[in-house]
Chains A and B, each alone.
Chain A
Amino acid sequence: MSSLAVQKASSAAGATGTAQSRPPLRGRIALVPTITLLLGAIYCLLPVAWVVIASTKSGSELFSTFTFLPGSGFTDNLHDLNAYRDGIYWQWMTNSALYAVLGALLSTCVSAFSGYALATYRFRGRETLFNVLLAGVLMPPIILAIPQYLLMAKADLTDSYWSVLLPQILSPYGVYLSRIYAAAAVPSDVVEAGRMDGASEWRIFTRVALPMMVPGMVTVFLFQFVAIWNNFLLPYIMLSDDEKFPITLGLFTLLEQGANTPALYTLVITGAFLAVIPLVALFLVIQRFWSLDLLSGAVKS
């Protein structure tokens, strides 16, 4: 398993990407690819750079000074954001963290159980079950969300933490990834050997298979974490009490109000900046543990 952070294999020779038909350049840097990638990086970092700078501007500076010139209002903005509705912003952040951590944790467990079972056992209905679960990936979220809302309303659960948490525990995509990963990482002779030793199926799973599946499960956890953190539609439909909003929904309502009171724009911008920090930090720290080759189906058994 080569992870993302593993440097490009030195043996992997490739094109310089230039359109020239003469032999590869002798120089030490391939200019065209490097410049292309730098332009791509600038494009991707531009809005992030903008929000970092814009969050330092006071309301009047926002509309008057050049956008990439830092302002003088960052601490004031922070203070205003803190003060807005008694710090409801931090409640939103806490809610997002709660939904994402708890949801992703439960989701990873369910995915690990299912993926392991689908990969290691031969049983009746295996493929049918897998295909039915997989069809869930294709379901547009809204076809689920509306009846989910109505059913939640019948169970008197709408506008509760449960209404956002529960529907996100089962991730068909997580099950799919777990199955691929379990098939690649857990050799069947090891499972067989455990049986010979008289271990129960549960014990084989927890003591033998699960440790082997950890790297893949980290990926599943991160995917689910990002998916839940970024989710907007489900909380948008389920919740009306803004004390339970996740950060995406909180910022959206702030922007909606900002359309009428431009003074709120600085709050939206500062809020967006702070909301970006946790996930970007998470990415920078853990990107070396990701095994993204799972995605491209490049897992070698």
Chain B
Amino acid sequence: MTIARRKPYGVKGAPYAFLLPATILFALFFALPIGYAMWLSFRKVHVSGLGLGSGARKEVWAGLENYTDAFTDSELLDGALRVLGYGCIVVPVMLGLALLFALMLDSEKVRLTSFTRLAIFLPYAIPGVVAALLWGFLYLPDVSPFYFVLEKLGMPQPDLLDGGPLYVALSNIAVWGGTGFNMIVIYTSLQAIPAEVYEAAKLDGATPTQIALRIKIPMVAPSLVLTFFFSIIATLQVFNEPTTLKPLTNSVSTTWSPLMKVYRDAFGTGDIYQAAAEAVIIAFATLVLSFGFLRAANRRNKQEAAR
């Protein structure tokens, strides 16, 4: 009897109890900071007189001032354009390679799969900062094997840490670090395709290439969407790699990427209000892009299903 009476109460309260730690942490370390950042983004410091004395600096309401400043800030815009260019290299190259390697791993009679799979996945274990540091040295003319070979061959030695090549150099670090992870995601979903599908296609006389293009790639489309989605988010938030390369070259400014600019404004020049507004804009852009992309992907899926 007691059990019967206690049961519904226990079951009802249980999920909330299980979710309590996550909810508290979310409130403290996600919701509160986000709210605080938004609040700050509408504030500014008003300095009266020489800015001396206790009442001379006080925080006042700024309205949209920080936002209009951010949108007309050429440094932020330039950073956004740089990241756009960088993303246009990273995302297609990384996902293209990941898909290629996944298809190769999944093909018949291929050898050394465990070794190559592990080797290609290995960069995932290496922190972005360390990866950027390693590649940074490989880009440095004094220690790089590439320059050594070029010099021996008497070929011209381009500066990898400046201008256009800098984009390639930075993109390469992201491609190197991310390809293996994406390859595993795609490969795992390739493995989930039942063998009968291929047998039927083979009976119909499909070649391996046709099977790859017409069956495998469409069937792993959800994984491709997922990896694309995560790559875009990661690209928008690039910070570690350019920051790490900065000590090695003068071409990476403190505002190379939008996040670097936010960091500089918050901790370098100390204008946390301006930084907060920029951070809110970046977060908003991320959300709009993500949801727009997800909706587009969903619509396509529905169209496919309707066919």
Report the Cα distance A147→B267, complex, angstroms: 12
1/0 per position for B119-153, CB-CB distance to A under 8 A?
Answer: 11111111111110111111000111100100000
Report the Cα distance A142→B14, complex, angstroms: 34
Give the size range of A's interface with the partner. 35 or more
Q: A147 is contacted by which of B7, B36, B192, B195 (Cβ under 8 Å)?
A: B36
Q: Return B142 CB to nearest CB of chain A, in Å.
A: 5
What residue in chain B is nearest A291 (Cβ atoms)? B188
Interface residues of B in 11-31 (CB under 8 A from A): 11-12, 14-19, 21-23, 25-26, 28-30
Report the Cα distance A248→B199, complex, angstroms: 49
Flag if A143 contacts B126 (CB, 8 Å): no
User: CB-CB < 8 A to A205: which residues of B?
Assistant: 18
Interface residues of B in 189-224 (CB under 8 A from A): 189-193, 195, 198-199, 202, 207-209, 211-212, 216, 222-223
User: CB-CB < 8 A to B169: which residues of A?
Assistant: none
Report the Cα distance A19→B213, complex, angstroms: 11
Is B282 in contact with chain A by the CB < 8 A criterion?
yes
Report the Cα distance A144→B199, complex, angstroms: 51
What residue in chain A is nearest B284 (Cβ atoms)? A143
Q: Answer whether A175 and B202 are a contact pair too, CB < 8 Å, given A144-B30, A226-B125.
A: no
Is B161 in contact with chain A by the CB < 8 A criterion?
no
Q: Answer whether A255 and B244 are a contact pair too, CB < 8 Å, given A12-B191, A144-B29, A229-B127.
A: yes
Q: A170 is contacted by which of B22, B180, B283 (Cβ under 8 Å)?
A: B22
What residue in chain B is nearest A257 (Cβ atoms)? B247
Report the Cα distance A22→B207, complex, angstroms: 7
Binds A, one of B72-80, B84-92, B258-266: B258-266
Flag if A140 contacts B286 (CB, 8 Å): yes
Is B166 in contact with chain A by the CB < 8 A criterion?
no
Report the Cα distance A142→B36, complex, angstroms: 13
Is A4 in contact with chain B by the CB < 8 A criterion?
yes
Binds A, one of B46-54, B63-71, B235-243, B296-304: B235-243
Report the Cα distance A21→B212, complex, angstroms: 13
Is B95 in contact with chain A by the CB < 8 A criterion?
no
Flag if B263 contacts A37 (CB, 8 Å): no
Report the Cα distance A296→B125, complex, angstroms: 19
Q: B226 is contacted by which of A29, A148, A169, A296 (Cβ under 8 Å)?
A: A296
Flag if B34 contacts A139 (CB, 8 Å): yes
Q: A297 is contacted by which of B107, B129, B226 (Cβ under 8 Å)?
A: B226
Flag if A113 contacts B267 (CB, 8 Å): no
Q: Answer whether A114 and B18 are a contact pair too, CB < 8 Å, given A143-B34, A251-B129, A293-B188.
A: yes
Is A279 in contact with chain B by the CB < 8 A criterion?
yes
Report the Cα distance A135→B244, complex, angstroms: 28
Flag if B33 contacts A15 (CB, 8 Å): no
User: CB-CB < 8 A to A47: which residues of B?
Assistant: 131, 134-135, 138, 176
Report the Cα distance A118→B236, complex, angstroms: 30
Q: Return B128 CB to nearest CB of chain A, in Å.
A: 6
What residue in chain B is nearest A282 (Cβ atoms)? B125
Instruction: Using A132-B26, A280-B126 as known contacts, list a sample of 7 further A-B pairs with CB atoms less than 8 Å apart, ordered by residue number in A.
Output: A30-B107, A41-B120, A48-B134, A116-B18, A140-B259, A230-B126, A296-B189
Q: Which A residues fall within an 8 A CB radius of B?
A: 2, 4, 7-9, 11-25, 27-30, 32-34, 36-38, 40-41, 43-48, 50-51, 54, 62-63, 66-68, 109-111, 113-114, 116-118, 121, 123, 126, 129, 132-133, 135-136, 138-144, 146-148, 150-151, 166-167, 169-170, 175, 195, 198, 200-202, 205, 226, 229-230, 232-233, 237, 247-249, 251-252, 255-256, 258-259, 265, 268-269, 272, 275-276, 279-280, 282-284, 287, 292-293, 295-298
4 shortest interchain CB distances as A-B pairs:
A15-B208, A117-B18, A41-B119, A147-B33
